[in-house]
């Protein structure tokens, strides 16, 4: 069993829709949760991070963490074609020079 599971998609939604991306994990020691966006042939860029359980909102993006269920989500409101990319969840146990464990990434396409 992988430490982090993420549906690879692909996921296609019409412009303006709400997108829900999810990851599950098995290591209960994970405390820091991140979402990265990766455009084709580019390095990942950090979208959002959260610590422990709870919600965090930044513009059109909302990250949720449910540690009791070992489940994290990223919601994108009013999706735009420019949101088309691969979204990777990542987690770590500690805050520091701790390696990240990534999900496989979900490929998202927003249809104009």
Burial of 34 (0-12, 13-18, 19+ CB in 10 A): buried
Burial of 75 (0-12, 13-18, 19+ CB in 10 A): middle
Contact 75, 61 (CB under 8 A): yes
Judged by beta carbon, residue 67 or residue 107, the one nearer other proteins is 107
Q: Supply 75's token pair.
A: 């919601």
Chain residues 66-95 in contact with other proteins, contact rule CB under 8 A: 88, 95
> Nearest-CA neighbor of 63 among 28, 37, 82?
37
Among 1, 14, 29, 43, binds other proteins (CB under 8 A): 43
Judged by beta carbon, residue 15 or residue 55, the one nearer other proteins is 55
49 counts as binding other proteins under rule CB under 8 A: yes
- Minimum distance from residue 16 beta carbon to other proteins (Å): 27
Binding-residue total with other proteins (CB under 8 A):
22
Footprint on this chain of other proteins (rule: CB under 8 A): 6, 8, 34, 36, 41-46, 49, 88, 95-97, 99-100, 102-105, 107
């Amino acid at each position: 069993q992988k430490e982090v599971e993420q549906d690879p998609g692909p996921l296609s939604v019409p412009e303006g829709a709400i997108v829900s991306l999810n990851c599950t994990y098995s290591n209960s020691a994970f405390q820091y949760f991140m979402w990265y966006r990766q455009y084709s042939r580019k390095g990942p860029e950090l979208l959002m991070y959260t610590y422990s359980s709870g919600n965090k909102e930044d513009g059109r993006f909302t990250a949720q963490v449910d540690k009791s269920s070992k489940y994290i989500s990223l919601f994108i409101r009013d999706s735009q074609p420019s949101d088309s990319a691969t979204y990777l969840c990542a987690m770590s146990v500690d805050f520091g020079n701790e390696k990240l464990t990534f999900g496989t990434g979900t490929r998202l396409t927003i249809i104009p």
